[in-house]
Structure 1
Amino acid sequence: MQKKLIHGVTSSMSALFLHEQVHFIEKNGYQVEVVCNNDPERQYDGLKLKHIPFEREISPYRDVTTLYSLYKYLKAEDPDIIFFSTPKAGLLGMVAGYLNGTDTRIYAQWGLRLETVTGLKKVILQTTEKLTCKLSTHTVIISDSLEEEMVRRNLVDQEKVVRLGKGSVNGIDLERFRPEAVEQQRLMQMKADLGIEPDDVIIGYMGRITKDKGTNELVEAFTELSYKYRNIKLLLVGDIEDGDPILPENVEIIQGHERIIHCDYTNEPEYYYSMMDVFAFPTYREGFGTVSIEAQAMQVPVVGFNSTGVKDTIVHDQTGLIVWTNDTAGLKEGLEDMIRHPLKRGEMGENARKFVEEHFDRELIQQKVLDFYNTLGASDDTDPEYQKA
C-alpha cells in the first residue's frame, strides 16, 4: 500500500522549486500532495495541490483560520507523513499535524529569520521556532552552520536533527548549470546588449537586493574598487525590494553608476553566471546558499561572508574566499584578490565545479530524501545514517 505524504510550503514559488523532488518521490511508491498558497497565474507542472492561504507575516486572526483549515484537511486526508518547510507553513503544519495525531511530522528548516531581527519580533520568532521543532518528530536542517546556530539557541533537540547529505534543499541540476550548456552566440549577444566588453572583469550578484543580503556592503566595496580598477563592472541580478531596504544612497548608486549593470529577476540565471568572473555573496544569513553552488557549478569562484548557510557552500582558498569580518572592508579585500589574480580565479572555478559535482547533484540529494523516507516505519525511529548523512 502506498504511503501518503503531504508536503507543505508557504508560497507557490517554493512548491515549484520542489516539483522535481516531488515527482521523483511519487515515482518511487509514495502518494504526494503539496499544500501552498494559490497563485492562479502560475503553472504547477502536474503537482497534486491543495491551496491553503498561508500569510507570510504574523497575522493572528488569519493564522488561526488557516490552522483550522489545515487541521480539517489533514484530518480528512490522514497522511502517513507530513513534511512542512518555510516558517509559517512549518509552524501551522506541525501544530495541525500534532492535533491530528499524524505519527511522522517532519519540519524542514531552510533558514533562521530571527538571526537578523530585533525586539519583540525576534522574541516571537524564537518562540514559534522552538514550538515548531518541539512538535516535530524530525527536524531536517539543510546546513552544518544552521544546525550549530539552532542548537546554540536551544531551538531544537539534537536527537531530532536530520541531515540529508552535505546540505541544500534540493541540490542543483548539473546538466543545466554547466558552462557547456550555455549557447555561446546568445551569450555574446546578451553581453553586448549589457555593454560588457571582452576585457571587463565582472563581479556578479544574484538574489534579492536587500539589507540582509549584504547589498549595501557590496555596492560600497565595488564603488571603492571602481576608482582603482577601470575594467571592473558590477552585475546585479535581482529586484530592489521595499522590505528590508538598502540605503537610499546605494539605490542611487545602483541606478546611476556607469559600471553597475542592474537586471531584474531572471528565469535563466545560468546565462548571467556565465558573464561573471567572481560571484559576490555577502549575505548575513541563509539556510543554505543555493546561488553560491549554482555559480560554482558554472566554474565561478565565490567571495562570501562568514555567515550561517554561506560558509557551508565555500571551501576557503579552494573554491572561493570566506570574508571572516563580514563587512565592507573585508569584502573589498576578497574581491580585490580575485580581480588581481585571474589564474587563481580559474583554478578556483575548476575546483568549485568538482566540489558541487561531488556533493550537490540534484539526483544525489533526491535519492537521499527518498532513502530517508524509506527509513520511516511504524516505530518512527530515524536510521542513524540520517542523523549525520
Structure 2
Amino acid sequence: MKKICIIVSTPMTVKAFLIKHIKELSKSYEITVVSNSNLQLKDEFNINCFSKSIEIDRKINLLNDIKSVFYLYKFLKKEKFDLVLSVSPKAGLITSIASFLSSTKNRLHFFTGQVWATKKGLFKLLLKSMDKLITKLNTNILVDSHSQRNFLIKEKVISSLKSKVLLSGSISGVDIDKFMFDENIKNNLKNKYQIKNDEIVFMFIGRLNIDKGILDLAKAFEFIFSKYSNIKLFLIGPDEENIVEEIDNLISNKNVIRLDYVNNPEEILNIADVLVLPSYREGFGTIVIEAASMGIPTIASDIYGLSDAVVDKITGFLHNKKDINDMIKKYELAVNNIEQMKEFGINAKKRTYKEFKDEYLSIALKKYIDELLG
C-alpha cells in the first residue's frame, strides 16, 4: 500500500476541512497526518491513519522554522512517503523545503488564499516570494477556487500546467447532512434572541478584522439601522485586532448581537435570512456554501474566491470591495425584496447540492492523487 503524508500547522485545519478527505484516501493508501499536536483521529473520527507531532509555527520565526524543516526532513526521509500534501501557508513553506530535500517524488500543496493579496511593500514581496518558492519546490499545486487560480497565474506565482482546481472549487465542500435547515432550532433561537417575525436577520460569521471588511460592514449598517427598524445583525467571531470598540462606536444598539465564537455554525445559521461577507480577500469562502446548503443567500465582496462561491443575482449579490455605498445598495435590495432573497436561497441550495457536496470533493481529490501515483 502506498503512503501519503498530510501536513498542516494546526489540528483545527484537519478537523475543519480534511476529515472526509482522509477517510476517502485511507481506503486505498496508508495515511499519516502531521501537525503541531498528536491528533487522535482514529479514536475521535474512526479513521484508520497514523499521527505525528512536529511543531510548525503559524507565524514567521526563523529559528523555530529551521527546526521544523529539520525534524520534518528527517521524518520524511525515514518514512519514504509516495506523496506529501500540505495545506495552509506556513505548513506549505516548511513542507515544500523538507519534502524537496528528502527527495519525496510527489509533492502537492493546496492554496486556500493569499495573505499578501491585501498587503503592500516589502512584507507583501516577502510573503509572495514564499508562495513562489512553495510552487517551485512542489511538483503539483491545487487551488480552492478558479478565480484564485487565475489570479495566481496572472501574478506569476503558479503556472496553468502545474495547477488544478477540484470540480467547482472549495477545499472540501460542505456536509449537507450537517448544514441542514431546522425549523425547530430556528424558532428556539428566535425566542432566545427575541427576534420578531417581521424582522430580517443579517449574519456575519468570521474573524473580526480589517481584511474581513468588518468596519465597512459596521459603517454600512450604521445607515441601514437609521432607515429601517426591522433589522437584526449578528456579528459572530473572535475579535482578532481589538476592533470591537470601534464597531460599537458605529453600531452599538439592541439590534446588533455579538457572539465571540460558536462551535456549531450549523445551528446559529438557522436564524439567518442573509449571510454577509464583505471581505478584502478570500480563497473561496466555505461559510458561503455552508449557508447555501441551508437555503441562505449571501451578499459578499466581488473578489476572487467569493465570486466562485456566490453567483451574482442568482444565489445572492456581489458588491464592489470596500465600497460602502454599494454595500448599502445591496443590503437595501435585500430588505426591500425579501421574497427574491428567498429565491436566491433556494438557488444557492440547489447549486450547493449539485456542485459542492463534500463527498464529491473527496472523490475528486482521491481520483487526482490516484492519477499522480499511477
Q: Please point out which of 63, 66, 82 is paired with 1:64.
A: 66
Q: Please point out which of 254, 257, 278 is paired with 1:258.
A: 254
Mind listing any 5+ residue stretches in structure 1 that lack a counterpart?
379-389
**Aligned equivalents of 1:226 and 1:41: distance in 2?**
47
Deviation of the 1:253 alpha carbon: 4.2
Cα gap change, 1:39 to 1:117, in 2 (>3 Å)? farther
Q: Does 1:320 align with 2:316?
A: yes
Q: Does 1:296 align with 2:298?
A: no
Q: Which residue of 2 aligns with 1:269?
A: 265
What amino acid is the match of 1:142?
D
Q: Please point out which of 134, 137, 142 is paired with 1:135.
A: 137
**Aligned equivalents of 2:39 and 2:14: distance in 1?**
14
More deviation, 112-121/34-43: 34-43
Deviation of the 1:35 alpha carbon: 0.8
Deviation of the 1:325 alpha carbon: 4.7
Q: Please point out which of 122, 131, 149 is paired with 1:147.
A: 149
**Aligned equivalents of 2:40 and 2:208: distance in 1?**
25
**Aligned equivalents of 2:40 and 2:255: distance in 1?**
36
Deviation of the 1:195 alpha carbon: 2.1
Q: Which residue of 2 aligns with 1:366?
A: 362
**Aligned equivalents of 2:123 and 2:371: distance in 1?**
37
Q: Which residue of 2 aligns with 1:24?
A: 24
Cα gap change, 1:246 to 1:264, in 2 (>3 Å)? closer
**Aligned equivalents of 1:121 and 1:149: distance in 2?**
19
Q: Which residue of 1 aligns with 2:163?
A: 161
Deviation of the 1:39 alpha carbon: 7.2
What amino acid is the match of 2:247?
N
State the secondary structure of the residue aligned to 2:166.
coil
**Aligned equivalents of 1:40 and 1:24: distance in 2?**
18
Cα gap change, 1:241 to 1:252, in 2 (>3 Å)? farther
More deviation, 40-49/275-284: 40-49
The two structures have a TM-score, normalised by structure 1, of 0.91
Instruction: Check whether the contact 1:284–1:308 (CA below 8 A) recurs between aligned residues.
Output: no
Instruction: Check whether the contact 1:4–1:79 (CA below 8 A) recurs between aligned residues.
Output: yes
The 5 A counterparts of 1:3-152 are 3-17=2-16, 18-27=18-27, 29-38=28-37, 45=45, 46=47, 48-152=50-154
State the secondary structure of the residue aligned to 2:86.
strand
Deviation of the 1:40 alpha carbon: 8.3
**Aligned equivalents of 1:103 and 1:74: distance in 2?**
11
Deviation of the 1:118 alpha carbon: 2.0
Q: How many residues align?
A: 370
More deviation, 277-286/192-201: 192-201
**Aligned equivalents of 1:170 and 1:5: distance in 2?**
18
Deviation of the 1:274 alpha carbon: 1.4
Instruction: Check whether the contact 1:201–1:233 (CA below 8 A) recurs between aligned residues.
Output: yes
Q: Does 1:309 align with 2:311?
A: no
**Aligned equivalents of 1:177 and 1:40: distance in 2?**
25
More deviation, 39-48/218-227: 39-48
What amino acid is the match of 2:190?
K
State the secondary structure of the residue aligned to 1:158.
coil
Instruction: Check whether the contact 1:173–1:362 (CA below 8 A) recurs between aligned residues.
Output: yes
Cα gap change, 1:35 to 1:289, in 2 (>3 Å)? same
Instruction: Check whether the contact 1:306–1:326 (CA below 8 A) recurs between aligned residues.
Output: no
Q: Which residue of 2 aligns with 1:381?
A: none
Cα gap change, 1:114 to 1:275, in 2 (>3 Å)? same
Identity across the alignment (%): 30
More deviation, 317-326/74-83: 317-326
